[in-house]
Structure 1
Amino acid sequence: MYATQLLIGDQWVDSSDGGTNETFNPANGELIGFFAEATTADVDAAVAAARAGFESDAWQSMSPDAKGRLLWRIADLIDRNAVELAALETLDQGQPTTVSTAISVPLAAQVFRYYAGYATKLEGKLSPVSIPRQLTYQRRTPLGVCGLITPWNFPLDIAAWKLAPALATGNAVILKPAEQTPLSTVRLVEICREAGVPNGVVNLITGGPQVGKALVGHRGVDCISFTGSTAVGQEIARTSATDLKRIGLELGGKAPSIICADADIDAAVQGNLKGALFNTGQACGAFTRFFVPRSKVDEFTSKISAAADALKIGHGYDPETILGPLVSEEHLNRVASYVASGKEQGAQLVSGGERVGGELQNGYFFRPTVFTEVTDKMKIAREEIFGPVLSIMPYDDIDEAITRANSTDYGLVAAIWTKDLVTAHSLPQRIKAGTVFVNQLPLIDPGAPWGGVGLSGLGRELGSYSIDEFTEPQSVFINLD
């Protein structure tokens, strides 16, 4: 049984009122641990500790090279503790070990090493101004105290995406993981301490939505980086407008996948199945709307539904499991309600559409669900489901498919399946999305930006773009007279 505390400054402490909350194993519904439920007073203390850590001589005087080596040590410790971290992700979030072991943990370490290199490359520039006898240059300065609020679907990775560039650029942070999945983030913060991060530079608060609201509304916080639902992101934007703090928002998605007439149908079936059901569909970049030429709808539907039915559903620690549980009973009910709405609005259910029973009945398992004859106005075609639900939508010509794919409030990712090189290069520029994948899964790499347009968010993470998210340019004018 796990029992975790808050990290405020250099002290691991209980909540100031002794409050705790519970976290459960989504594969069987069993209680696996308790975590401290932070209070407003705890948030105040964490902000004060972060400010002190940011301004401390230990952090301000640390050289870029030393910062880089610090981040590299964190990456090495992630690798050293990989088995434990992967087990925590599988236990607390439900990720199959094929995801937690082969993707989540290695990617977290890779992100820290990527930004370790950036610590020595935060360059400014010299500006040729028209004022006589002036030397004018710009330098990047850290924002100060950054609140990092992470979601429950990829707790370790998204914490790394935010934490690594924030530290590389010299900020102090307060990490707030989702209340459903705090365990791997707590362990990551322990690793940061072990690596030698100075006191107060990394702080941890855990708890529910009220804790996040207190962090967002705090006047001592200079920046909020949030990944989660669009509704919460909109609330963060409204709250942050009060003091105009910097915000970065990576929100929901409703990714279209356009299967062109010349596409290899078998490759498109396998690629779209994996792209839709990665982490049981609990990914903002999951493919969800499948635009298929009307002449190939029957073939595509029969093949993808048969392939979905054949996937192994089970506990994440089973190495043969492809589909693990949804994260909670609440979320399972939400997914089920979307499936019910699809039926009510006239979509044709081809396969799945129900909770898994039998020996898995105590877990939050839901069968992969395929609908066809889905229209653009149906709820399952418009709203983010965040689960294993696939909507197949016939089209008659490619211009129609593009228009319908863009007919959404979201714009995070999209996919195109084609064997034609001209199509592969010409269609992405017509699609409203932060990232377009051609003939492949929704892959993520530290070197490429990640983020969306519209209700999918503001700003970009990863690549050099995260450096922009966590720094402010400062101009310096030197009078040479």
Structure 2
Amino acid sequence: MKAINPLVVIVAALGAELGCVFIVFLIGVDMSTTFSVVSPVDGQVLAEYGYASGEDIRQALEASQQVALTWQNTPLAQRKVLVGQAIDWLVSQRDRIAEAIAQQIGRPIAQAAGEVRGLEERARHMIAIADEALADNYPAPKEGFTRFLRREPLGTVLVLAPWNYPFLTAINTIVPALVAGNRVILKHSSQVPLVAKIFDEAFKAAGLPNGVFQVLHMTHDDTLALIGSEGIDFVAFTGSVEGGRTVQRAAAERFIGLGLELGGKDPAYVRADADLNNAVENLVDGAFFNSGQSCCGVERIYVHASLYDDFVAQFVELTKGYRFGNPMDANTNLGPMVRARAADFVRQQIADAVAAGAKTLIPAGHFTHDAPGTAYLAPQVLVDVDHRMRLMTEESFGPVIGIMPVSGDEEALRLMNDSDFGLTASIWTTDADAAMALADQIETGTVFMNRCDYLDPALAWTGVKDTGRGVSLSALGYAQLTRVKSIHFRTA
């Protein structure tokens, strides 16, 4: 168990730009000064990194404050250019990024470079819409007055990013935050420090002023202390529900914004009129891509009884065709989970479901690399499942899916909404009107028709229930990362 020393109060007198305001924050001193990255590929230690000290954190906050006015007063056009140059640099590192992802989280190297395409799509879109999203907003003219609303940056944005899509999830906040004139401190998951390093190199190569973008590897305690300090003005967290609650508690005494993207148990409904082949192909991919470790991955499927048997048969056949194994092999298209204990969690969900009457359809031994006690967990399909089973209600975040027959829209809607989560849901049908009628009633942040497991940067990425709160991407993503100032001048 880690030994934690008593909290140490660090008082930093920041520069003249703040009028010599004193910022006080608490840093929990953790006796652990380093952390190791264990690769799921072979269970070996990939690298060891040092945690930031209290002095490192103090200096990062001071650097962020010192550059505040410089960066905020940099014209928007120039901020866009500089951030765009960082994206250019990242795109040029496609092969390096693919290797870093494969080594650190186990996604097949043949697929890992695809994250760069998504990163670029999101970043370019957010840069392109910045002028409109950040433009002054004028109400109807009123004689004798000049009136408008202006968006201003919040200050220092702390991005707490996860490991599963380490570039995509981080870029959702980093790009609009910087373009809007904020400074960013990135605390990435300790599973992917190489990603944080690559981000740091990108913004340095782009020529951003010192202190505008910084990376800190911090202990859990120091991260929470930083959230509660006066140096942070917004926190963007992607992670577990309990992690979100912890972040919220840490910020409870402060009036700052939080973006919390938490758990999911995303459902799919295959209607009687669906294109069966299209639904099967996309839902297999939606369930198992990245070994099921996707925030918006499909975790439960409801199929109209008239299609159920054919759907299940085709789904199982396609699943059996995966090339499961070492992610560094270019022929592999399904790799290990991120760590052994995550795989063991899913194994236990499966075992509990089977004990309660569920049936597994992928025979033991079909995938030779499946190895109990390791991160290598082969995909599994279960039937005869119901909502009494953890498998159908508790987030799995792994390569497993439960499939249930339903009698029609009413039953499907009830089951889709029977969840503590609400990130995305997908409807598979040729009837757009029926899909819209269902979409109006599904309790979720995004409703897809005939696609799944995708994020469109032009649309708001948000959720309901225990999936969290806040918005990223789209013009609304800029609204979350800025504050509004009203200008009200009498001119006559």
Matches within 5 A, 1:400-411: 400-411=411-422
Please name the residue that 1:82 is paired with. Answer: 94
Q: Is residue 33 of structure 1 aligned with residue 47 of structure 2?
A: yes
Q: Is residue 451 of structure 1 aligned with residue 462 of structure 2?
A: yes
Question: In terms of mean alpha carbon deviation, does 418-427 or 178-187 score higher?
Answer: 418-427
Q: 1:180 Cα shift?
A: 1.2
- Cα contact 1:67–1:119 (8 A) shared by 2: no
Of residues 404, 408, 428, the one that matches 1:417 is 428
Please name the residue that 2:136 is paired with. Answer: 124
Please name the residue that 2:270 is paired with. Answer: 259
Matches within 5 A, 1:59-78: 59-78=71-90
Q: Is residue 236 of structure 1 aligned with residue 250 of structure 2?
A: no
Q: Is residue 467 of structure 1 aligned with residue 481 of structure 2?
A: no
**Partner deviation per Cα, 1:52-72 (whole Å, 9 max, x = no partner):** 2223x2x13311111111111
Q: Is residue 160 of structure 1 aligned with residue 171 of structure 2?
A: yes
**Partner deviation per Cα, 1:5-38 (whole Å, 9 max, x = no partner):** xxxxxxxxxx998922111221111111112222
Q: Is residue 147 of structure 1 aligned with residue 147 of structure 2?
A: no
Alignment TM-score, normalising by the size of structure 1: 0.91
Distance in 1 between residues matched to 2:356 and 2:402, nearest whole Å: 13
Matches within 5 A, 1:41-440: 41-55=55-69, 57=70, 59-101=71-113, 103-121=114-132, 122-128=134-140, 133-351=144-362, 364-440=375-451
Residues 444 and 350 from structure 1, CA distance in 2 versus in 1: closer, same or farther, beyond 3 angstroms? same
The count of aligned residue pairs is 464
Distance in 2 between residues matched to 1:223 and 1:354, nearest whole Å: 49
Of residues 20, 24, 28, the one that matches 2:34 is 20
Q: 1:352 Cα shift?
A: 5.7
**Partner deviation per Cα, 1:91-115 (whole Å, 9 max, x = no partner):** 11211223321x2012222333223
Distance in 2 between residues matched to 1:286 and 1:434, nearest whole Å: 14
Q: Identity of paired residues, percent?
A: 30
AA in 1 matched with 2:112:
S
Distance in 1 between residues matched to 2:32 and 2:348, nearest whole Å: 36
- Cα contact 1:254–1:287 (8 A) shared by 2: yes
AA in 2 matched with 1:425:
M
Gaps of 5+ in 2: 1-28
Tell me the SS of whatever aligns to 2:272.
coil
Q: 1:174 Cα shift?
A: 0.7
**Partner deviation per Cα, 1:219-273 (whole Å, 9 max, x = no partner):** 2211000111111112222222211210011111111100101112222211110
Distance in 2 between residues matched to 1:43 and 1:160, nearest whole Å: 22
Distance in 1 between residues matched to 2:369 and 2:172, nearest whole Å: 38
Distance in 1 between residues matched to 2:220 and 2:371, nearest whole Å: 30
Residues 276 and 18 from structure 1, CA distance in 2 versus in 1: closer, same or farther, beyond 3 angstroms? closer
Residues 362 and 431 from structure 1, CA distance in 2 versus in 1: closer, same or farther, beyond 3 angstroms? closer
Question: In terms of mean alpha carbon deviation, does 273-282 or 19-28 score higher?
Answer: 19-28
Gaps of 5+ in 1: 1-14
Tell me the SS of whatever aligns to 1:33.
strand
Question: In terms of mean alpha carbon deviation, does 139-148 or 300-309 score higher?
Answer: 300-309
- Cα contact 1:26–1:326 (8 A) shared by 2: yes
Tell me the SS of whatever aligns to 1:249.
strand
Please name the residue that 1:3 is paired with. Answer: none
Q: 1:198 Cα shift?
A: 0.7
Alignment TM-score, normalising by the size of structure 2: 0.89
Distance in 2 between residues matched to 1:178 and 1:47, nearest whole Å: 20
AA in 1 matched with 2:342:
H
Distance in 2 between residues matched to 1:359 and 1:263, nearest whole Å: 33
AA in 1 matched with 2:171:
A
AA in 1 matched with 2:479:
D
Tell me the SS of whatever aligns to 1:304.
helix
Residues 95 and 168 from structure 1, CA distance in 2 versus in 1: closer, same or farther, beyond 3 angstroms? same
- Cα contact 2:324–2:369 (8 A) shared by 1: no
- Cα contact 1:139–1:475 (8 A) shared by 2: yes
**Partner deviation per Cα, 1:159-199 (whole Å, 9 max, x = no partner):** 11111000010001110101111211211111101101111
Question: In terms of mean alpha carbon deviation, does 274-283 or 375-384 score higher?
Answer: 375-384
Tell me the SS of whatever aligns to 2:123.
helix
Question: In terms of mean alpha carbon deviation, does 25-34 or 417-426 score higher?
Answer: 417-426
AA in 2 matched with 1:185:
A
**Partner deviation per Cα, 1:422-463 (whole Å, 9 max, x = no partner):** 323332222111111111232223222212111111111111
